[in-house]
Structure 1
Amino acid sequence: MGTVLVVGGTGPTGPPIVDGLVARGHDVTVFHTGRHEIDGAPDVPHLHGSPFQAEGIADTLGRRTFDTVVATYGRVRLLASHLAGRCGHFVAVGGVPVYAGYVDPSSRFPHGLALPVREDHPLVAPDAPRSAGYDVAPIRRTEDLVFSLAEQGAFGATYLRYPTIYGPRNPYAWEWNVVRRVLDGRRTVVLADGGHGIHTRMAVRNAAEAVLLAVDRPEVASGKAYNVADDSLVTFRQWVQLVAEAAGGELEIRSLPHELPSPGWAMSAFGGREVATCVLDTSTLRRDLGYRDVVGLREGLAETVAWMLANEDLMRRTGTTDPFDYAAEDALLAAYDDALAGLSGVAEPFRTGIGRMKVPQTAKGSR
């Protein structure tokens, strides 16, 4: 076993990563700002400083060397540059916005992503413009730099592309949009286009497992980027139903068109402007590293919701992008229902004019 530096370590995936490394017999050190110490964290040395600035990284790490570095936090480009020649294996965490068409689906033809999304799917350009209020180009430039340093012999490099993550302490707590409605006694929730889109998700313990497997097998993982994701796929609609169930409630799902601003936009990372469906192909991770889920979808969501219920005061203070303006929701739904009623007559030719195709009824046997 060897020495491992974990940059981060106290966020959603950090504790299970550190736990797994310690269980494997590694000598683990955690480097983070020190602002978010958590109870019950593994008893390993912590280095406090800024992993977001070159000076802070240099001051904190100095000339220390490590067998492995796991960068889940901070400015990965700065970390990789400082640790070049000072570690054997650099494992970095990125995300699916690096794929062209994810954040700006209209930039691709045909629209959006080629499904399932494999690791060789086109990436955003290193100088891609800001889209959906988000800069995606730095994600590409970071990957490029890490692999460039690896090609120069600075270290072996592995990149893990995270999807939407869920679990305790997740700063992007999408499930709270559902849980709070249950707690507030709300009976409905609005989803864009009925919530029929699918976005690959991953429980924090499963994400940690993928990282640990990459650390376990540097001879296989070095030089590669991997998609990581849960086995299970659910639509936004199914996700809402499962989260509400875990919170002890049930919500009627109301559908509004994706183009109409609504609380449904708050259910996704980029305000509903990203691609409607993103399914990651994880076959390379499974084949190379033997990845399998360590926690199922229902169990992972139950852990997430239980943590939110235990930390309700914190969740209500920090909030999400959802304004939880129930009066405005009701007014919007009422106006939409009125508009649908007004459109009913215009739509009548399609209600009566579109019939069934005359095809052999093979399921019943042809006549």
Structure 2
Amino acid sequence: MKIEVAMLRTGLAQGGSSARRPQAATLPPNGPGLMGRALVVGGTGPTGPPIVAGLLARGHEVTMFHTGRHEVAELPDVPHVHGSPFEAGDIARAVGEGGWDVVVATYGRVRLIADEVANRCAHLVVVGGVPVYQGYVNPGSRFPYGVALPVREDSHPLVAPDEPRFAGYSTGPIRRTEDHVFSLGAKGSFGATYLRYPTVYGPRNPYAWEWNVVRRVLDGRPWLILADGGHGIHSRIAARNAAEAVLLAVDRPAIAAGKAYNVADDDLLTVRQWAQLVARAAGCDLEIRSLPRELPNPGLAVSAFGGQESPTCIVDTSRLREDLGYRDVVSVPDGIAETVEWMLANEPVLRASGTTDPFDYPAEDALVAAYEHALASLAPQAAPFGTGIERMDMVQTAKGRAL
């Protein structure tokens, strides 16, 4: 593949445009850091612009290495190296002959990147994900079912390096990549830091889960199906908050080296609460209809693994807070509003690209009608439990009549 180096200014996000204002870069607690050479692998996704802006604000000389297929208006003017972060030859040409103070790898074939920068980079910061935890993608693989709550970096088991493929997804390579990076770090090739992301939301996210809700608002659809009523809880991270975690790891290499960090927003939402916030940001409240997770339904399309993942996954971010001083830089409602604003500005592109949701409204109507009919038919069998389950007697401890 041809390698191109260019000084680029603006391009359109996924072919669209947005009126969003640029976000200010955050600075480390003690002000800008020392000048250093920083290579960002990726940089055009949801977290890229705030990472690049934050590195520049800290005094780093930044170069981006990505495919060049997407350029975004929010990016500052820095050199771009275009090539494939998945091919060894392109990676070698992008890294060049010199060294780097920090390399931030947000995508690509990380094992190849790590091999190329070994002994030529002081600090390698890699973005991974929570699927490395056993029981997240395949909850039935653990007892008790699913992940332990909250999920802690050192105490929760990771998937096996040869973990079988499940739900169309292979988690074994994620584990092997982490092991490889930390092995090189242990040999002194660089300081290695891994950031384990949960579901990310923000402008330009290629996995546009919020679009499943936003499109229904735009289509005038009055209700939304959620599996099990959307009562599961999953840690999420706003793009700007994820970038903040990356920048804090860059700021404190001596502390962060050799460690993995869970990354998540300070606040937690149920899937139902998330959908309600998204719908309101899009301009309309939607009624929530519930269908069981065991029944294939469009409510499963709001998750990465079609409802086959652990129903609840809450990651513990204590290490990130205590080691690196992490705090959200954008609240959950504001982060969702930014995401929805971008989607509204890029509606034609999102309608063309679609998501895992078929948006088959007649089929939804028929499914819900059949389900409600089936529930009504079960009323006689359910009747004994309507009166047979009584409240346990207990001593009244607040104001009121004591038993």
For the superposition of Structure 1 and Structure 2, which TM-score range results when normalised by the shorter chain? over 0.9
Percent identical:
72
Query: What TM-score do the two structures reach when normalised by structure 1?
Result: 0.99
Amino acid at match of 2:57: A
CA distance in 2, matches of 1:29, 1:322: 37
Give 1:273-352 correspondences, 5 Å limit. 273-352=308-387
1:40 aligns with 2:74: yes
SS class of match (1:47): strand
Q: What's 1:176 paired with? A: 211
CA distance in 2, matches of 1:87, 1:56: 18
Cα offset for 1:320? 0.6
Amino acid at match of 1:66: W
Cα offset for 1:65? 1.4
Cα offset for 1:353? 1.1
Cα offset for 1:185? 0.1
Q: Of residues 39, 61, 70 in structure 1, which corresponds to 2:104?
A: 70
Q: What's 1:24 paired with? A: 58
1:128 aligns with 2:163: yes
CA distance in 2, matches of 1:223, 1:14: 23
**Structure 1, unaligned runs of 5 or more:** none
Q: What's 2:243 paired with? A: 208
Q: What's 1:5 paired with? A: 39
CA distance in 2, matches of 1:40, 1:340: 51
Give 1:23-172 correspondences, 5 Å limit. 23-120=57-154, 121-172=156-207
Q: What's 2:305 paired with? A: 270
Cα offset for 1:73? 1.2
Cα offset for 1:361? 2.0
SS class of match (2:65): strand
CA distance in 2, matches of 1:305, 1:345: 44
Cα offset for 1:62? 3.0
Q: What's 2:222 paired with? A: 187
CA distance in 2, matches of 1:153, 1:100: 28
Cα offset for 1:178? 0.2
Amino acid at match of 2:399: K
Amino acid at match of 2:37: T
SS class of match (1:191): strand
Residue by residue over 1:155-209, the C-alpha shift from the partner in whole angstroms, topping out at 9 and shown as x without a partner, is: 0000000010000000000000000000000001000101000000000000000
CA distance in 2, matches of 1:77, 1:35: 23
Amino acid at match of 2:65: F
Amino acid at match of 2:48: G
SS class of match (2:243): helix
SS class of match (2:205): coil
CA distance in 1, matches of 2:259, 2:54: 22
1:248 aligns with 2:292: no
Q: What's 2:49 paired with? A: 15
SS class of match (1:299): helix
Cα offset for 1:318? 1.0
CA distance in 2, matches of 1:212, 1:334: 50
Cα offset for 1:355? 1.2
Cα offset for 1:48? 0.8
Query: What TM-score do the two structures reach when normalised by structure 2?
Result: 0.90
Cα offset for 1:85? 0.8
CA distance in 2, matches of 1:35, 1:257: 40
CA distance in 2, matches of 1:326, 1:289: 47
Residue by residue over 1:262-308, the C-alpha shift from the partner in whole angstroms, topping out at 9 and shown as x without a partner, is: 01110101100000000010010000000000000000000000000
SS class of match (1:70): strand
Amino acid at match of 1:184: D
CA distance in 2, matches of 1:363, 1:273: 43
CA distance in 1, matches of 2:181, 2:241: 24
SS class of match (1:6): strand
CA distance in 2, matches of 1:62, 1:219: 25
**Count of matched residue positions in the alignment of Structure 1 and Structure 2:** 367
CA distance in 1, matches of 2:180, 2:371: 49
CA distance in 1, matches of 2:293, 2:139: 14
Residue by residue over 1:242-277, the C-alpha shift from the partner in whole angstroms, topping out at 9 and shown as x without a partner, is: 000000001100000110000111010110000000
